[in-house]
Chain A
């Protein structure tokens, strides 16, 4: 009798464990059935719903901060206004020259039958949510597939590259930051045109990999995108070399890169509306 009881309790335990495992697997499969790059219907709904909440909270905080800072800034407005008017007049004149140069460039590019004569269009988006966990480096922005955003599109600021879009819902998108450990970007050392790959190192910035020991690399060298990864256009600033170490063992140098962008200060991002050939 005791043996039977033991057996049945053991069976019950096994069944319970099996049910729990099956439950987890089913849920995981249902939710992630569309693969890594595409969100399934329920995922899109949840992502959108939370995104709206985050947008509301971000805009609320922004407004309060704006009211406070605009009161403080009011004192300097007049002087700044005069300066800005002068600068605007200068820029208008320069802008006209640039417009003329762009038009000439397009005309010449067409003459040479270059395929990409104009830069792709861009879209500005605001960050509405940030990852609070310490493992992944992702942010949520307030533009989605309804604005034309697709996974794989590069995200930048005026200072340099930020990351790329990885998931989209109709009104929000998830951006994988370039300093995430799963991110890798093909780059060039601007001075000597040596190719390498930068990998995200979280708060430490980036690490430049696959640079041979005999290559000339020094602190302060600027790093730009090579355009070979199919995501980022060529020549965008990535960062500068912050330290170089040549170990006795191994073929490559250990190079740390200080990002051109301060990831903790990001607020507005520019999305380059260029479809990634890798995603297709």
Chain B
């Protein structure tokens, strides 16, 4: 089967990830929030930020990151432009990190997601404290931080694999007809 032109594949991958990211965002801000305490701390969209930095092309990854950062900024941000700056910084840092790290298996994904979360957490903490109108420091809960980190470690691999599956199917059009079938290829190295 003939391969689709790169531009179309790039557009399709952005569109697919955009829709799935949007659905995850809506679930995260509605259904997860109404359920029990720990589900409110699930953050699947964060995995998408990491995925777009280390698995996507530069332009498509940057567009996706910018879009979801703006979405966060508009929906819940208080200081305009804060989330785009933080998540684009994360994007560039991760791209640089990904060039250095050679191994690209599951533990690597988890570690990258966790490092990114710690990066965003402290970056946000510093930025927001600088922007607060008075001298008081933001109250932070280490328990919540650890719970969020643990939940991210748990969901990182399945969500990452889900996004990877979408990209893989789009990049090899023959596989578009075999959704749900087991992939027997050796994926030890990407």
B78 CB–A CB distance under 8 Å: yes
> What residues of chain A lie closer than 8 Å to B80, measured between beta carbons?
28, 31-32, 36
List residues of chain B with CB within 8 A of the CB of A264.
Answer: 37
Give complex CA distance A203, B41 in Å.
14
Inter-chain CA distance A181–B131, complex, in Å, is: 11
- Shortest CB-to-CB span from B62 to chain A, Å, is 8
B103 within 8 A of A: no
Interface-facing stretch out of A69-77, A101-109, A116-124, A129-137: A129-137
Contact of A131 among B76, B88, B136, B139 (CB under 8 A): B76
- The contact of B74 among A28, A47, A184, by CB within 8 Å, is A47
Q: Select from chain A the residue with minimum beta-carbon distance to B66.
A: A27
Q: How far is the CA of A57 from the CA of B24 in the complex (A)?
A: 11
A262 to chain B, nearest CB (A): 13
Determine the distance from Cα of A39 to Cα of B75 in the docked complex, in whole angstroms.
11
Report the minimum CB–CB distance from A274 to chain B (whole Å): 22
Identify the interface centre among A28, A138, A140: most chain B CB within 10 Å of its CB. Answer: A28
Mask, B17-36, CB within 8 Å of A = 1, is 00000100111111111100
Which residues of A in the span 204-221 have a Cβ within 8 Å of any Cβ on B? 204
Interface contact B85-A24, CB-CB below 8 Å: yes
Q: Does B174 contact A (CB under 8 A)?
A: no
Q: List, in ascending order, chain A residues with CB within 8 A of B26's CB.
A: 50, 53-54, 56-57
Which residue of A43, A135, A174 is within 8 Å of B138 (Cβ)? A135
The answer on a CB contact under 8 Å between A53 and B22 is yes
> What residues of chain A lie closer than 8 Å to B141, measured between beta carbons?
134, 202-203
Interface centre among A47, A134, A184 (most CB of B within 10 A): A134
Is A166 interfacial (CB 8 A cutoff)?
A: yes
B151-190 interface bits toward A, Cβ cutoff 8 Å, 1 = contact, 0 = none:
0000000000000000000000000000000000000000
B77 CB-CB contact with A under 8 Å: yes
Contact present for B139 and A201 (CB under 8 Å): yes
What A residues does B77 contact at CB under 8 A?
A: 136
Bound Cα distance from A204 to B139, whole angstroms = 8
Question: Is A129 touching B75 in the complex (CB atoms < 8 A)?
Answer: yes
Closest B residue to A128 by beta carbon equals B30
Task: List, in ascending order, chain A residues with CB within 8 A of B75's CB.
Answer: 47, 50, 129, 131, 140, 174
Q: Establish whether residues A199 and B76, one from each chain, have CB atoms under 8 Å apart when the complex forms.
A: no
- A182 CB-CB contact with B under 8 Å: yes
Residues of B within 8 A of A20 (CB): 88, 92
- The answer to the question of B98 belonging to the interface, with a C-beta cut-off of 8 Å to chain A, is no
Residues of A within 8 A of B92 (CB): 20
A27 to B30, CA, bound (A): 28
Task: Assess the B70–A46 pair: CB atoms within 8 A.
Answer: yes
Q: Which residues of A contact B145 (CB under 8 A)?
A: 134
One of B41, B70, B88, B144 near A31 (C-beta < 8 A):
B70
User: In the complex, which of the residues B26, B81, B128, B132 has the most CB atoms of chain A within 10 Å of its own CB atom?
Assistant: B26
Bound CA–CA A147/B166 (angstroms)? 41
Cα–Cα, bound, A274→B80 (Å): 26
What string of 1s and 0s marks CB contacts (under 8 Å) between A141-184 and chain B?
Answer: 00000000000000000000000001000000010100011101
Chain A residues whose C-beta falls within 8 Å of the C-beta of B76 in the assembled complex = 131-133, 136, 138, 140, 174
Interface mask (B56-89 → A, CB under 8 Å = 1, otherwise 0): 0000000000100011111111101100110010
Q: Report yes or no: B78 in contact with A176, Cβ–Cβ below 8 A.
A: yes
Report the bound CA distance from A46 to B139 in whole Å: 30
Known interface pairs A24-B88, A50-B26, A138-B76. Does A132 touch B32 (Cβ–Cβ under 8 Å)?
yes
Determine the distance from Cα of A50 to Cα of B73 in the docked complex, in whole angstroms.
12
State which of A50, A134, A181, A182 has its C-beta within 8 Å of the C-beta of B25. Answer: A50
- Known contacts A134-B140, A176-B78; can you find 7 more A-B pairs with CB under 8 A? A31-B70, A31-B80, A32-B81, A47-B74, A129-B29, A138-B78, A166-B78
Can you list 29 residue pairs at the A/B interface with Cβ under 8 Å?
A20-B88, A24-B88, A27-B66, A27-B84, A28-B80, A31-B74, A31-B80, A31-B81, A32-B80, A39-B74, A50-B25, A50-B71, A54-B29, A57-B30, A129-B29, A129-B75, A130-B40, A131-B76, A132-B41, A132-B42, A133-B72, A133-B124, A134-B145, A135-B125, A135-B128, A136-B78, A184-B133, A201-B139, A202-B138
